[in-house]
Structure 1
Amino acid sequence: MSIDVEAVRRQTRGVLGVTHLNNAGSSLAPGPVVDTVVGHLRREEEIGGYEAAEEAADRLEGVYSSVARLIGAAPDEIALAESGSRAWAMAVYSFPFVPGTRLLIGRTEYAGNVIALRQLARRNGLQIVVLDDDPHGQLDVEHLQRELDRGDVALVALTHVPMANGLVNPAAEVGRRCRAAGVMFVLDACQSVGQMPLDVQSLGCDVLAGTGRKFLRGPRGTAFLYVRASVLERLEPAMLDGHSAVPAGAGGLEVRGDARRFESWESSAAGRLGLGRAVDYALALGLDAVQERVAGLAEQLRAELAAVPAVTVHDRGITRCGIVTFSVKGNDARNVRTRLAEHRINVSVAPAPSAPADSAPTGTRHGPDLVVRASVHYYNTETEIQRLVSVLPGTS
């Protein structure tokens, strides 16, 4: 099944005004998703927020089933959240850490996750071990195996697709080795969900966090968390409220038995409905077709950039995705982004792929260790890619 690019562009109002190549930041939402969000807000305006949510109760419940289908999980293993980082943290902060155990992470782990893990290490007397890259720039699974064999590993945390690199880490192989060692595996899929098929059974992860705004093309402020049913009872959330638990007996409480124990009472019903619509939209297109289209466009962009003498493409990996990072000789990445924005081409800047796992978040970094990040999606066109290359400094 292939994607009807003209049809999806007709449903993407933003393509009339911009060439959007910042899908790893936040995609252009399709019309059906926006209409779903706005439609529910109108109902809140007309009849009240609680009443509108009650009216949409079946549709809100259906969001859990949609997300579960997207990643091969059960609805009871899904929680909804306001950001991928918060979803990831809600699970990780609930782990029953034993002092002296170790946390294994990759060199391309998302900087925000590293900050959280450092706090947890300081609080609980843990050691963080940064695993080597292999010659292709991916997580070295042989180094992982050596560390697992040493023992005393509390969990392995991996970012599936780094925010500033085109590679796809070998998550399924990491999952296989973690399962064999009996070690928790936490996967940050915020940059992979929506641009490729994901199946938590094949990936072997115990926890997976995804966001709505990136390649899923959902609203900002939406995300989800998967927690494998077999580990749920081991993870008591760091914070509970009347949605996640109920009083029980004299001074006791009973925590929910499903993944919604990681949710809080208040949320955006409109946002959740929009997330569900975005998931259904992606499923209808087919994630295999999405991946084929995205990967093909990204390879075209890499090839055309590499043909420009002043441009260096920085992506590594055996399997690569829709994120393309590059630099232009003699031009700061921020200046390149500004030049492209003047031509109504949206890109971002990010830490260079060689930056370590404890790099500062993008917004606080300066200097030559920044690269330009262009991230394509299936609604982009070959002409848009050619247009980006044609207006780079030194090419026109």
Structure 2
Amino acid sequence: MSIDVRAVRDQTRGVLNVAHLNNAGSSLVPRPVAETVAAHLRREEEIGGYEAAEEAADRLHTVYSSLARLIGARPDEIALAESGSRAWAVAMHSFPFVRGSRLLIGRSEYTGNVMALRQLAQRNGLQIVVLNDDPYGQVDVEHLQRELERGNVAMVALTHVPMADGLVNPAAEVGRRCRAAGVLFVLDACQSVGQMPLDVESLGCDVLAGTGRKFLRGPRGTAFLYVRASALGRFEPLALDGLSAYSSGAEGLEVRGDARRFESWEACIAGRLGLGRAVDYALDLGLDTVQERVGWLAEQLRTELAAVPAVTVHDHGITRCGIVTFSVKGSEAGNIRARLAEHRINVSVAPRPSGEVQSLLSGSPHVAETVVRASVHYYNTEDEVLRLVGLLPR
């Protein structure tokens, strides 16, 4: 099975305006997703917000089922959130860390996660251990094993696909080793969900956070959190409300028994319905097929870039994805981005992760080298790839 590129482009209004190669930032929303959001907002306009939500209750319920199917989970293990970073942080701040325990993280961990972990470490007297990279730039699973054997590990946190390396970390192997050691494994899948198949059983993760706006092609302000049912009882959100907990007698509260304990009463229903439609759209295409198309386009881009003498491609890993990072000798990454934007080609600028995590943890100043990040999706074309490369300084 292959993707009908013409058909998906016909359902993507934005391709008429730009060559959008910033899907790791926020993808172009397909027409069915935009129409789902707009239709619910129209109903809120016509009959009122609460009334429109009540009318859409059954469809909202299926959002949890769709997300569960996307990652091989159960609907009661899914919570909805307004951003992947927020979903990830809510889970982390809900875990009862034992003072003096250790957190193991990768060298290419997402910057926002590192800041949250640093706050947790300061509040709870934790030690953060940064795992080495292996020769391919991935997290070193042998170093992980040694640290697990040392003991006193509360949690392993890993970013599945770093924002600027092009690689896919060996999360399933990390999960296998964490499970054997009885250690909680938290996976940030914000850059992997939507561009490759994910299965929480195969990955072995206890917690997974994903976002809607990137490769899932959902609306901004949408995300989800997965927490394994067997681990759920270990998490208690710091802030409870009328959705996440119930009154239990005169002096007590009972936290609800599913993952929605991490949600709040108020939410953007239109956005959540749009997220569900985006998930269904991806499932209809097939994530194996999506990964094949995205991987092929990314390798085409890397090959074309490597043929330009002034260009250096910075991607690592055994398995690589739709994120391609590069620099041009004598040109600032920001200037390259602006030059491409003048020709209606969207890319972004990202810091190279080398040294950044350690500097964030130590509080020492660190000026990261920036690179151009071009991130392809299945609706992009080889012609768009060639246009980008053709505009680079030689």
Tell me which interval the TM-score lies in, with the shorter structure as reference length.
over 0.9
In 1, the alpha carbon distance for the partners of 2:383 and 2:359 equals 34
In 2, the alpha carbon distance for the partners of 1:251 and 1:304 equals 66
Using the TM superposition, give the Cα deviation of residue 238 of structure 1 relative to its aligned residue in structure 2, in angstroms. Answer: 1.3
The aligned residue for residue 370 of structure 2 is 370
The aligned residue for residue 228 of structure 1 is 228
Amino acid at match of 1:249: G
Task: Describe the shift of the 1:355–1:383 C-alpha distance in structure 2 as closer, same or farther (beyond 3 A).
Answer: farther
The aligned residue for residue 158 of structure 1 is 158
Contact 1:355 1:369 in 2 (8 A): no
Contact 1:332 1:367 in 2 (8 A): no
The aligned residue for residue 288 of structure 2 is 288
In 2, the alpha carbon distance for the partners of 1:156 and 1:366 equals 25
The aligned residue for residue 248 of structure 1 is 248
In 2, the alpha carbon distance for the partners of 1:119 and 1:173 equals 28
Q: Which residues of structure 2 form unaligned runs of 5+?
A: none
Task: Describe the shift of the 1:28–1:366 C-alpha distance in structure 2 as closer, same or farther (beyond 3 A).
Answer: farther
Question: CA offsets per residue over residues 169-196 of structure 1, 9 Å max, x none?
Answer: 0000000000000000000000000000
The aligned residue for residue 76 of structure 1 is 76
Amino acid at match of 2:270: A
The aligned residue for residue 259 of structure 1 is 259
Using the TM superposition, give the Cα deviation of residue 250 of structure 1 relative to its aligned residue in structure 2, in angstroms. Answer: 1.8
2:40 aligned with 1:40: yes
Q: What SS does the aligned partner of 2:104 have?
A: strand
Using the TM superposition, give the Cα deviation of residue 357 of structure 1 relative to its aligned residue in structure 2, in angstroms. Answer: 2.1
In 1, the alpha carbon distance for the partners of 2:359 and 2:335 equals 21
In 2, the alpha carbon distance for the partners of 1:359 and 1:189 equals 23
2:17 aligned with 1:17: yes
Q: Tell me the percent identity.
A: 81
The aligned residue for residue 168 of structure 1 is 168
Q: What SS does the aligned partner of 1:209 have?
A: strand
Using the TM superposition, give the Cα deviation of residue 392 of structure 1 relative to its aligned residue in structure 2, in angstroms. Answer: 1.1
Q: What SS does the aligned partner of 1:88 have?
A: helix
Amino acid at match of 1:207: V
The aligned residue for residue 143 of structure 1 is 143
Using the TM superposition, give the Cα deviation of residue 235 of structure 1 relative to its aligned residue in structure 2, in angstroms. Answer: 0.4
Q: What SS does the aligned partner of 2:233 have?
A: helix
The aligned residue for residue 273 of structure 1 is 273
Q: What SS does the aligned partner of 1:86 have?
A: helix
Aligned residues: 390
In 2, the alpha carbon distance for the partners of 1:39 and 1:238 equals 35
Q: What SS does the aligned partner of 2:129 have?
A: strand
Using the TM superposition, give the Cα deviation of residue 367 of structure 1 relative to its aligned residue in structure 2, in angstroms. Answer: 6.7
The aligned residue for residue 94 of structure 2 is 94
Q: RMSD over aligned Cα, in angstroms?
A: 1.2
In 1, the alpha carbon distance for the partners of 2:72 and 2:189 equals 14
In 2, the alpha carbon distance for the partners of 1:352 and 1:85 equals 20
In 1, the alpha carbon distance for the partners of 2:368 and 2:87 equals 32
In 1, the alpha carbon distance for the partners of 2:379 and 2:367 equals 32
In 2, the alpha carbon distance for the partners of 1:244 and 1:368 equals 40
In 1, the alpha carbon distance for the partners of 2:14 and 2:323 equals 20
2:320 aligned with 1:320: yes
In 1, the alpha carbon distance for the partners of 2:240 and 2:59 equals 25
Q: What SS does the aligned partner of 1:80 have?
A: strand
Using the TM superposition, give the Cα deviation of residue 354 of structure 1 relative to its aligned residue in structure 2, in angstroms. Answer: 2.6
2:59 aligned with 1:59: yes
In 1, the alpha carbon distance for the partners of 2:349 and 2:288 equals 28
Using the TM superposition, give the Cα deviation of residue 326 of structure 1 relative to its aligned residue in structure 2, in angstroms. Answer: 0.1
Contact 1:102 1:152 in 2 (8 A): yes
Using the TM superposition, give the Cα deviation of residue 261 of structure 1 relative to its aligned residue in structure 2, in angstroms. Answer: 0.1
The aligned residue for residue 108 of structure 1 is 108
The aligned residue for residue 297 of structure 2 is 297
Using the TM superposition, give the Cα deviation of residue 132 of structure 1 relative to its aligned residue in structure 2, in angstroms. Answer: 0.1
In 1, the alpha carbon distance for the partners of 2:73 and 2:377 equals 25
TM-score, normalising length from structure 1?
A: 0.97
In 1, the alpha carbon distance for the partners of 2:297 and 2:115 equals 33
Using the TM superposition, give the Cα deviation of residue 393 of structure 1 relative to its aligned residue in structure 2, in angstroms. Answer: 2.0
User: Stretches of 4+ moved more than 4 A in 1?
Assistant: 365-368
Task: Describe the shift of the 1:305–1:323 C-alpha distance in structure 2 as closer, same or farther (beyond 3 A).
Answer: same
In 1, the alpha carbon distance for the partners of 2:196 and 2:71 equals 10
Amino acid at match of 2:338: T
Contact 1:315 1:353 in 2 (8 A): no
Contact 2:351 2:368 in 1 (8 A): no
In 2, the alpha carbon distance for the partners of 1:299 and 1:382 equals 11
Q: What SS does the aligned partner of 2:173 have?
A: helix
TM-score, normalising length from structure 2?
A: 0.98
Contact 1:351 1:359 in 2 (8 A): no
Amino acid at match of 1:69: R
Contact 2:87 2:209 in 1 (8 A): yes
Task: Describe the shift of the 1:156–1:381 C-alpha distance in structure 2 as closer, same or farther (beyond 3 A).
Answer: same
Q: What SS does the aligned partner of 1:357 have?
A: helix
Task: Describe the shift of the 1:367–1:329 C-alpha distance in structure 2 as closer, same or farther (beyond 3 A).
Answer: farther
